């Protein structure tokens, strides 16, 4: 009987220990000292100021491409600097984790933490960025387009429609230099010169532009571009100068139009939304500060690289034609007609973002 009583008391004692243990979270020394390194985050949880993150970053560009050199590397370095080393990166260039069209999905699914994107290639994921921002005749350069995109990307309805509703968050945005036309010799001065030609189709609204002008858009991958241009499957490249090297067609180009402003390419980096929400406020602020600082330099670097490329082409004897005011007026007339045609069948959210973008552009033009 005594043995049973002792066993019962022992059981009660053990249960009391378990109950007490479950009712109190473990504490560190910093919880009870004035010099605690933990601070409340925005959602009310405690954030450890010593916590570090190594983020997987996926990019389709090569390690030495202009965009990688002028934008991705400086951004990663600036984030690491501003977070005092608490955030660094494992970088996977050259499509090692998936092609450019897959990047949005691999971030949403957690395969990569961050990845680059090109909106025109994923219109189903980014219906507004892929259609409104690339419209021809809006941006005068990559700089004003970048700064305006940056100003509106975290506002509704763009933020929800193109990003957060699908589980990603935009941490960096940029707009490419405006697109021109390059050939193996044919002159492209006015829209009429494109009619009947086979022109590189970049996707989405830019492909529709080519059809509207009266040309035939031909879509190829980056790896297929050289052969398509060399064999005449594509007669006119629809890009900007520094991307000619990326496509491998620099040696084939003999004629370049400058000043057509035939659309732009919204690009950037997205991060997994759940991961973004887990970061303490100071980390989020540092990442966005890095983006602000790099965006201007990245867009200017893109511009300077395009100027350098055009200069090299001129030295090589390629024909470089800068549009006259009269020629530019013909393009602008077609662009206005195209925008009216295209916007007749889009949502109110598309029109609202267009108004926001045009208003933001005024601050930089």
**Domain residue limits, the chain:** 51-177+265-304, 180-264+317-361
Token readout for 148 is 């305006």
Mean pLDDT across the stretch 3-20? 35
Q: What percent of the chain shows pLDDT beyond 70? A: 87
* 67/219 Cα distance (integer angstroms): 22
Query: pLDDT higher for 39 or 75?
Result: 75
Please give the span between the terminal C-alpha atoms of the chain, in angstroms, as a whole number: 94
| Lowest-confidence pick of 23-27, 139-143, 234-238, 352-356 | 23-27
The pTM score is: 0.83
Task: Return phi, psi of residue 313, to 5°.
Answer: -60, -40
357's CB contacts (< 8 A; 6+ apart) are 132, 133, 138, 148, 149, 152
Identify which has the larger pLDDT, 38 or 145: 145
Per-residue pLDDT averaged across 66-90, rounded?
Answer: 95
Confidence of residue 35 (pLDDT cuts 50, 70, 90): very low
Mean pLDDT score, 195-211? 94
At the second CATH level, the architecture of 51-177+265-304 is 3-Layer(aba) Sandwich (3.40)
Domain spanning 180-264+317-361, CATH class = alpha beta
More confident call, 284 vs 15: 284
What is the pLDDT confidence band of residue 107, given thresholds at 50, 70 and 90? Answer: very high
For residues 144-173, average pLDDT: 97
Q: What percent of the chain has pLDDT over 90?
A: 76
pLDDT one-digit tens code per residue, 118-144: 999 899 999 999 999 999 999 999 999
Q: What is the pLDDT of residue 48?
A: 62
- What is residue 269's predicted lDDT score, i.e. its pLDDT? 98
Cα atoms in the Cβ-side hemisphere of radius 13 Å centred on 106: 23
- The answer, yes or no, to whether residue 6 has pLDDT greater than 60, is no
- Asked if pLDDT for residue 55 goes beyond 70, the answer is yes
pLDDT number for residue 47: 52
């Amino acid at each position: 009987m005594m043995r049973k009583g002792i066993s019962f008391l022992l059981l009660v004692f053990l249960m009391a220990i378990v109950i007490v243990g479950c009712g109190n979270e473990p504490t560190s020394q910093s919880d009870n000292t004035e010099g605690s390194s933990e601070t409340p985050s925005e959602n009310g949880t405690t954030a450890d100021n010593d916590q570090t993150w190594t983020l997987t970053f996926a990019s389709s560009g090569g390690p030495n491409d202009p965009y990688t050199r002028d934008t991705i590397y400086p951004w990663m370095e600036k984030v690491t600097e501003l977070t005092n080393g608490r955030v660094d990166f494992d970088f996977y260039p050259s499509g090692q984790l998936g092609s450019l069209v897959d990047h949005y999905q691999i971030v949403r699914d957690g395969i990569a933490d961050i990845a680059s994107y090109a909106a025109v290639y994923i219109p189903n994921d980014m219906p507004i960025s892929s259609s409104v921002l690339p419209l021809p005749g809006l941006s005068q350069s990559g700089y004003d387009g970048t700064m305006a995109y940056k100003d509106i990307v975290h506002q509704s309805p763009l933020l929800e429609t193109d990003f957060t509703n699908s589980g990603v968050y935009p941490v960096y945005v940029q707009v490419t230099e405006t697109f021109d036309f390059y050939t193996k010799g044919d002159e492209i001065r006015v829209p009429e010169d494109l009619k009947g030609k086979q022109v590189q189709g970049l996707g989405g609204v830019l492909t529709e532009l080519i059809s509207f002008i009266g040309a035939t858009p031909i879509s190829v991958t980056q790896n297929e571009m050289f052969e398509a241009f060399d064999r005449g499957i594509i007669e006119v490249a629809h890009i900007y100068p520094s991307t000619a090297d990326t496509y491998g067609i620099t040696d084939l180009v003999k004629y370049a139009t400058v000043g057509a402003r035939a659309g732009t390419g919204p690009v950037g980096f997205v991060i997994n939304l759940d991961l973004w929400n887990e970061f303490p406020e100071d980390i989020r602020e540092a990442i966005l500060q890095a983006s602000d600082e790099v965006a201007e330099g990245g867009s200017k670097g893109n511009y300077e690289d395009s100027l350098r490329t055009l200069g090299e082409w001129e030295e090589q004897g390629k024909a470089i034609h800068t549009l006259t005011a009269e020629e530019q007026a013909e393009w602008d007339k077609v662009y206005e007609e195209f925008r009216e045609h295209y916007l007749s069948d889009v949502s109110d959210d598309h029109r609202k973002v267009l108004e926001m973008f045009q208003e933001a552009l005024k601050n930089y033009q």
